[in-house]
Amino acid sequence: MSPPPPTVVKDAKASLIKGALWSLGMRWSIKGIGLLSTFIMARFLAPQDYGVVALAFLVVGLVDAFLNAGSNQALVRIGNPNHDQINSAWTLRAMQGVLMAVVLTALAPLAAQYFHEPRVQNVLWIVAAGMAFMGFSNIGMALAYRDLQFGVEYRAAVTAKLSSALVTLATALYFGDYRALVCGILAGYVCEFVLSYRLHPYRPRWCTSRIPEIWAISKWLLTAGIGNFVLRRTDQIVAGRVGTTREYGLFTVGADIGQIPTGELGPTLTRPLFPILASMQGDLERAKSATLRTLSTVNSVTIPLGFGLAAVSAEATLVLLGAQWREAAPFVAGFAMIGVVQYLTGPLTTLMNVVGHVKVHSKVIWMEFAAFALLAAALTPEYKLIGLIVARLISGLLHALMVIAATHKYLQLPAGTALLTYLRPVLGSVAMYVMLTSFSVSSIAPIELMTKVILGGGFYVTWMLSTWALAGKPDGIETMATSLLTRVLAKWRTQ
């Protein structure tokens, strides 16, 4: 069976919107299922149960960062891979899965000793088997992503997540502890593996002839991935050592809740950009224009969501998790702001990777990590886990500035134009935050939360539309929103 030819993108804006909608539906469906499961499970399990599994997956993430060869992204970069290239990418990934399982098995006792948590060892041994299994899943899912077939990816991801959530809930009634979370994770692996072969017709075969070619493309992606993990997870590694299992559970669940708005919408809106820009590699100016439009759209959405969640973190924590998780509120607020900073330059990073400046981006990541390490060393002894959050915020801002400078230097993308995309969202979000934290309408958390969400959303939308009109109605998210609203109203009037 021949691999399908790559999709030719004629209308980048329409393809980006369509891809973003599919990606948005997938990520929010997955997150919605996960959140519903978490909200229910938080009543059955204690923070330390989440802490055990989170500690284990820190080790899993570390091993994955050092061994993930980026086979899927390499296929997208190739554009129109042949059978040998596709099969070699699958073979490389399969070998990676087995190697990960071996390394995790060996590291399990050491991890349990480092975190002072013996239960981590058994979790890692079980997950190691799942990693080896998942290495042999169908590489055809990467081909579907390359061809902008986001519906295939949606069905696989959502079904796997739903299966995982149902198994977690069912086994929680039996075990009543962290083992339910492990059972759910394994169920998700099995479902994802089966669906990868059910939903895509390609059937990979063992092949090693083109592995050097795949590696030549992905080695800098691997370097950047290692840097990203070290940067994004070092605070959790330190937190797992500094705090108790309960404190780490509060820290990680607070991080999950705090980064929901930005962590889901940021990658969702940016993810379709990679294959679209890959199809524009012969037209850099067009690619830069598409990137700037995406940058403006992403920031107009993620920045206010992060500021807004930070403003209502106490109420949101009580409503979503319950009173026993009240101490997680500061972490929810802190990670809401970290999420804002983390995705400030996502589209610019995508452009650099597509064009081929992965090495430059890798250097930026390691420079950010150096700044974070210095700040964490200075702040953690005095401020503990909050010090780690502050270090992440400051180093993240430095990362954003370095990415903007790098795209200006290597791609001649105007730095002033990129910086202007942040002006209106930041000013509106800061004003909204000040407004929401300056009053209280009720001592009942759900009423307080609902009131502030409505008022904050109304204020920000009014701010963006009014400043957009004053700026001469430039092309952006406001243009798309008003155009859609006009069409809807016109259709409604004709009925």
| Rg of the chain (C-alpha set) | 23
DSSP notation for 18-63: HHHHHHHHHHHHHHHHHHHHHHHHTTTS-HHHHHHHHHHHHHHHHH
Q: How far apart are CA 144 and CA 458, in angstroms?
A: 39
Q: Is the dihedral of CA 307, 268, 347, 92 positive or negative?
A: positive
Predicted confidence (pLDDT) per residue in 282-324, tens digit:
788 888 888 898 898 889 999 999 999 999 999 999 988 888 8
Q: How is the chain split into domains, by residue range? A: 1-218, 243-490
Alpha helices in 260-414 (DSSP H): 260-270, 273-278, 284-311, 313-321, 329-342, 346-355, 358-411
Predicted confidence (pLDDT) per residue in 220-232, tens digit:
667 666 766 766 6
Size (the chain), residues: 495
Predicted confidence (pLDDT) per residue in 197-247, tens digit:
999 899 999 998 888 888 776 666 676 667 667 666 777 777 777 767 788
Angle (CA) 221 222 223, round 5°: 90
Cβ contact 141:152 at 8 Å: yes
One-letter amino acid at 495 equals: Q
Give me the residues of the chain with pLDDT under 50, please.
1, 4-10
Per-residue model confidence (pLDDT) at position 225 = 67
